[in-house]
Amino acid sequence: MSKILCIDYGKKRIGLSITNSIRSIAFGLDTVNSNNIVCTLYKYLKYEDIDTIVIGLPIRFDNSLFPIEKDIKKFIKIINNKYPNLIIKRIDERFTSKIANYYLKKHKLKKNKNFLDKISATLILQEYIKY
């Protein structure tokens, strides 16, 4: 079975996570500069058996979308053009950053934005594979 890659899209940094081959567990993979995401994505798609990408949907408490959604849609268009056979799914990413921050505090880990983005991507992907 193919793996699933998850993207927690941000203007500066993008958190990545990936499932195991049976799609039962999500693992933090990487945090990359947003300018390098296309090259990084190419690398993972070339060397990993990935058929689906999950991208967080930035929904506010009032169910409106955060402005970054415009950037995410542009990014999705690039992915669709470059990899037309790739399945792209979206999932609500509300609270993932807050949960990731809570995890860091609970385990007395130094706040590290790169680690935080990777944890957020893992939480999004774990939520996706539950269903």
Q: Average pLDDT of 86-95?
A: 90
CATH of 3-129, one of 3.30.420.140, 2.160.20.10, 3.10.20.740, 1.10.260.40: 3.30.420.140
Give me the residue spans of the domains in the chain.
3-129
Q: What is the dihedral of CA 95, 97, 101, 104, to 10 degrees?
A: 110
Residue 106 reports pLDDT greater than 70 = no
The span from the CA of 17 to the CA of 36, in Å, is 16
Of the ranges 52-66, 70-84, 98-112, 115-129, which is most confident? Answer: 70-84
Dump pLDDT digits (tens) for 35-86: 999 999 999 999 999 999 999 999 988 988 989 999 999 999 999 999 999 9
